[in-house]
């Protein structure tokens, strides 16, 4: 029996970074497939545009830094950032939106701070927030689920509207967002916020065709798909339960309390859980090992903080979905969380 010394970080997993990233791709698959089923193949187009941009940006920056380009591509971190950003934006967003967001995420958020392992903020969410603040119309113009769409799209139409703004028949995105009743519809969370802000009751708002038994049509199933993928990651010990569990508790507990006191003027907890980017954020974004807390206690607090911020911003803030803002705000607290939650080093816990 030999005694081995090794530098930190210490882990019981023998997986390489590439193997971990492959598990992340696999776990994303259920949610991405469901997102494509409900919102169209534009999801795949956005992913391909993001991947191409990320590869080129990574190569250019590594060349400027006199670093091996192949090594940067092999760790797959840029690919994961590109995919997460691509599935976070509307499927029919103009092509330049995902290009700008991916360039900012890779070049500025990742490499300006030193590259892999040095970035302070989650690159995908920083790119998303840049796009949301700069191009709010494009970032909030989600297409209707396919079963509600008045004008079905072919693959050619999808490419045409992403690259030109119009389908082959000349329809623009605003026309495509009209339901069978001829009314332009918002996303479920945005629709609820608007209705409740106009003194409508929750019961009245939920009669709209965009809502189903579990929440928004399409959105609930997409969130369930990402939930399944997240559970796979926990089962494979790629991530721990502390951050997603903390985030969901931090969101659902205050949402339940607020809903109990305002049952017809508040978003129900189940709808919070199965709307927007809740499950994607809990299992795939907040769990980024570089920008999250490192101890289990710190991770739990980190997740709770994100969940509470999501609830507060969704309820009283100016944006219907708040996962990106909540994650970036929580990223700022990581140094403090690590300082006060990491176990005491042996030999340094007593009084001097």
Tell me the angle at which helices 17-39 and 42-64 cross, rounded to the nearest 10 degrees. Answer: 150
State how far the Cα of 104 lies from the Cα of 119, in Å rounded to an integer.
13
∠ CA 171-173-177, rounded to 5°: 105
**b/e code 313-344 from CB counts within 10 Å (16+ = b):** bbbebebbbbbbbbbbebbeebeebeeebeee
pTM of the model: 0.88
292-296: long-range pairs with CB below 8 Å, 24+:
292/243, 292/331, 292/334, 293/334, 293/337, 293/338, 293/341, 294/9, 294/338, 294/342, 295/338, 295/341, 295/342, 295/343, 296/240, 296/242
Which range among 55-59, 100-104, 171-175 has the greatest average pLDDT?
A: 100-104
Which pLDDT belongs to residue 246?
A: 97
Q: CB–CB of 320/128 below 8 Å? A: no
**Three-state DSSP class for residue 178:** strand
Higher per-residue confidence, 37 vs 71: 37
Determine whether 157 is exposed, middle or buried from the number of CB atoms within 10 Å of its CB (0-12, 13-18, 19+). buried
User: 228-286 pLDDT, tens per residue?
Assistant: 999 999 999 999 999 999 999 999 999 999 999 988 888 899 999 999 999 999 999 99
Query: What confidence tier does 182 reach under pLDDT thresholds 50, 70, 90?
Result: very low
Asked if pLDDT for residue 6 goes beyond 90, the answer is no
Asked if pLDDT for residue 87 goes beyond 70, the answer is yes
92 token code pair: 């029919």
Query: Domain-by-domain residue ranges, the chain?
Result: 15-145+149-181, 185-341
Asked if pLDDT for residue 11 goes beyond 50, the answer is no
User: 317-341 pLDDT, tens per residue?
Assistant: 887 779 999 999 999 999 999 998 8
Which pLDDT belongs to residue 82?
A: 95
Which pLDDT belongs to residue 185?
A: 61
Average pLDDT value over all residues in the chain = 86
Q: What is the mean pLDDT of residues 83-109?
A: 95
Query: What confidence tier does 13 reach under pLDDT thresholds 50, 70, 90?
Result: low
Query: What confidence tier does 347 reach under pLDDT thresholds 50, 70, 90?
Result: low
User: 142-176 pLDDT, tens per residue?
Assistant: 888 877 777 778 899 999 999 998 888 888 888 77
Query: What confidence tier does 183 reach under pLDDT thresholds 50, 70, 90?
Result: very low
Query: What confidence tier does 73 reach under pLDDT thresholds 50, 70, 90?
Result: low
Which pLDDT belongs to residue 111?
A: 86
Which pLDDT belongs to residue 7?
A: 44
């Amino acid at each position: 029996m030999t005694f081995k010394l090794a530098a930190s970080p210490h882990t019981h997993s023998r997986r390489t970074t590439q193997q971990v990233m492959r598990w992340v791709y696999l776990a994303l698959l259920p949610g991405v497939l469901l997102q494509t089923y409900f919102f169209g193949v534009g999801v795949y187009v956005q992913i391909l545009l993001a991947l191409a941009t990320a590869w080129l940006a990574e190569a250019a920056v590594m060349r400027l830094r006199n670093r091996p380009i192949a090594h940067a591509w092999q760790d797959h971190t840029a690919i994961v950032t590109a995919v997460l950003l691509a599935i976070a934006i509307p499927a029919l967003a103009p092509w330049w939106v995902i290009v700008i967001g991916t360039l900012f995420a890779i070049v500025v958020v990742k490499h300006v701070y030193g590259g892999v392992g040095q970035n302070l903020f989650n690159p995908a969410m920083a790119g998303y927030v840049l796009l949301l603040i700069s191009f709010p119309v494009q970032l909030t113009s989600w297409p209707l689920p396919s079963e509600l769409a008045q004008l079905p799209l072919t693959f050619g139409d999808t490419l045409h509207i992403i690259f030109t703004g119009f389908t082959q028949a000349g329809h623009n995105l605003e026309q495509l967002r009209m339901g069978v009743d001829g009314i332009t519809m918002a996303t479920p969370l945005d629709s609820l916020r608007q209705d409740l802000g106009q003194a409508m009751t929750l019961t009245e708002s939920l009669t709209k065709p965009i809502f189903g038994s579990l929440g928004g049509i399409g959105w609930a199933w997409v969130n369930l798909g990402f939930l399944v993928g997240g559970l796979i990651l926990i089962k494979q010990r790629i991530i721990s339960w502390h951050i997603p569990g903390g985030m969901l508790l931090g969101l659902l507990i205050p949402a339940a309390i607020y809903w109990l006191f305002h049952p017809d003027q508040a978003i129900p907890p189940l709808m919070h859980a199965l709307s927007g980017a809740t499950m994607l954020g809990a299992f795939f974004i907040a769990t980024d090992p570089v920008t999250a807390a490192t101890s289990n206690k710190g991770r739990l607090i980190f997740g709770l903080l994100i969940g509470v911020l999501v609830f507060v911003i969704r309820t009283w803030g100016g944006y219907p979905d708040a996962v990106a803002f909540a994650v970036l705000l929580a990223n700022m607290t990581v140094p403090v969380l690590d300082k006060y939650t990491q176990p005491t080093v042996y030999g340094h816990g007593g009084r001097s």
